[in-house]
Structure 1
């Protein structure tokens, strides 16, 4: 008998079996999930459709704009739902198809709601129920569940060609459809290279190529902080993997910060960010250690992002004849998501 097999499980009382299945499901906490986006218009990476979420976008001829993340350290460009995927949807995805009892346990916890882009009627309440999708891995089907209202969706764009078109991406990803659902938390992985200056003329071609990819990433981040993302997301987070906890500071206060649970890691809010208005950026260390020894640090980036964002909004106000009656702070807060920073720390 294999050590992982308990053949007497079916003989246990039904109530006890149900308790065991319920305990096998992820903790009832805000979770972190990773995906690769593609917008069907600017650039579709090679083979990405083989790892896309099943279904279609706003138009039936377009596939869903979400695909497997790229989390393999050995092959960082490989799409895979399995390899080193830190997403919590992998924690219990197999329970949807393991057996009748495990599926029933998932339905007890999450319900059985499919993501859809159906237009909500005016009198209908917001649909904050968890949504289940279908993922494809090498031709095999598996299911995943996310909670749009509370979970964190970390988007890993492919920056080799063009920046992400957030508007086109959103309308082709039913999970993020703004029709009748709460606005989600969206995250990007911060890259210090976004702050690099141009390598200058006469440099090797690969340096120019790397710089161009960094600029695509920076443009994606800047556009995410403005109206394209703010129209359908409540918060834009930047995950900075260089931030670490000062051992002498003790445990962070979980009652004062947002925490999203991943597989083996937590993504914890640190005191940096702004709310999309005139307010000065928050900048509280609060026991966190930052790698801000150069201009590529997260503090510098958030400050530059806020300045760029305000400049963008001023341009929008100048071109909008109807905006004179709208207070500027309210205008900024309405069109932009709140911006914050997350540290990634291992589970204890």
Structure 2
């Protein structure tokens, strides 16, 4: 079967526009994006000018539409109400008149990320307040990232669709690595080694506990965990990557059919116990602790939808 349709331009305009619209990423859906943090490029950590491994990110969904032709770009801009967002940002909020088709349907403003791919740069739409951004360190250099990361408030931003302002990223994720379960420290404050993804997670939790980043949600992603739906709880909305679908589940929904000590279930339970029940924190940590902080309520878990089990194995 041919991969291209050379007669596309001869289709009626209405048909072409409908095809472009159907190809757009569902506007109200939540996307999962992967970002490689390079401390040498941008110490402020705006998600722009970084190397993005686009093959797994939801923003890749619309990438072809941005580059296909002018007609597809126009459809994409209308799909995301870019004109309305630009006008509303510049206008007096007491005077701006929203269009009937737009008002009430959009709560989160779109932003743009600059994606570097094979020496080319292309811009893709993301929703910083709704989407989830899974971060990795360039060349696995977590030490440089942790030295320059804006820990106070975990303030990471994405440029608005115009350059005059930025939008805060509300959901930061890490992919779970089974080696996190190896050589676990005796005390949780020792998790923060300043040079690993596990240390990065521990540092984020400490900042949350101090109350400096209450608005930032922390996620762990496990691409291998198998899970079973809880009959007493409604499934969460689907989170979309480029070619995968994800579901938020609870730790108790994870099914273990291998070594428990290497599972995300074991890691989270040990982490939560140390954070929520350990009384041996150094005073420079505990003196700034938020009394209502709970690691159990803070860490959110994302798993692949196609790893769902219909029943437990014997």
- 1:252-292 deviation line (CA, Å, top 9, x unaligned): 999432431112211211212xxxxxxxxxxx22xx42356
Q: 1:218 is matched with which residue?
A: 198
Q: 1:157 is matched with which residue?
A: 137
- 1:199-255 deviation line (CA, Å, top 9, x unaligned): xxxxxxxxxxxxx99972221111122326962753211112221246xx7x99994
8 Å contact 1:25–1:91 — kept in the other structure?
yes
Gaps of 5+ in 2: 84-89, 95-105, 185-191, 309-314
The structure 1 residue matched to 2:179, chosen from 193, 216, 226, is 193
Structure 1 pair 337–135 and aligned structure 2 pair: CA distance change class (3 A): farther
Return the alpha-carbon distance in structure 2 between the equivalents of residues 27 and 254 of structure 1. 25
8 Å contact 1:35–1:66 — kept in the other structure?
no
Q: More deviation in 305-314 or 260-269? A: 305-314
- 1:155-199 deviation line (CA, Å, top 9, x unaligned): 1235445163542696575359xx88465222100111112128x
Structure 1 residue 313, shift from structure 2 partner = 8.2
Structure 1 pair 297–336 and aligned structure 2 pair: CA distance change class (3 A): closer
The structure 1 residue matched to 2:291, chosen from 312, 324, 328, is 328
- 1:32-60 deviation line (CA, Å, top 9, x unaligned): 1111113x3xxx4xxxx5xxxxxx665xx
Return the alpha-carbon distance in structure 2 between the equivalents of residues 262 and 253 of structure 1. 27
Structure 1 residue 15, shift from structure 2 partner = 1.9
The structure 2 residue matched to 1:167, chosen from 141, 144, 150, is 150
Secondary structure of residue in 1 paired with 2:129: coil
Return the alpha-carbon distance in structure 2 between the equivalents of residues 157 and 144 of structure 1. 21
The structure 2 residue matched to 1:268, chosen from 244, 247, 253, is 247
Return the alpha-carbon distance in structure 1 between the equivalents of residues 238 and 232 of structure 2. 10
TM-score normalized with structure 1 length: 0.63
The structure 1 residue matched to 2:261, chosen from 284, 295, 298, is 295
Return the alpha-carbon distance in structure 2 between the equivalents of residues 237 and 223 of structure 1. 14
Structure 1 residue 134, shift from structure 2 partner = 2.1
Return the alpha-carbon distance in structure 2 between the equivalents of residues 214 and 347 of structure 1. 33
Return the alpha-carbon distance in structure 1 between the equivalents of residues 119 and 142 of structure 2. 27
Q: 2:217 is matched with which residue?
A: 235
* Cα root mean square deviation, aligned: 4.6
Q: 1:21 is matched with which residue?
A: 20
Return the alpha-carbon distance in structure 1 between the equivalents of residues 123 and 199 of structure 2. 33
TM-score normalized with structure 2 length: 0.69
Structure 1 pair 64–234 and aligned structure 2 pair: CA distance change class (3 A): closer
Return the alpha-carbon distance in structure 2 between the equivalents of residues 167 and 319 of structure 1. 21
8 Å contact 1:94–1:143 — kept in the other structure?
no
8 Å contact 1:265–1:347 — kept in the other structure?
no
The structure 2 residue matched to 1:89, chosen from 44, 59, 63, is 59
Q: More deviation in 19-28 or 152-161? A: 152-161
Return the alpha-carbon distance in structure 1 between the equivalents of residues 225 and 257 of structure 2. 7
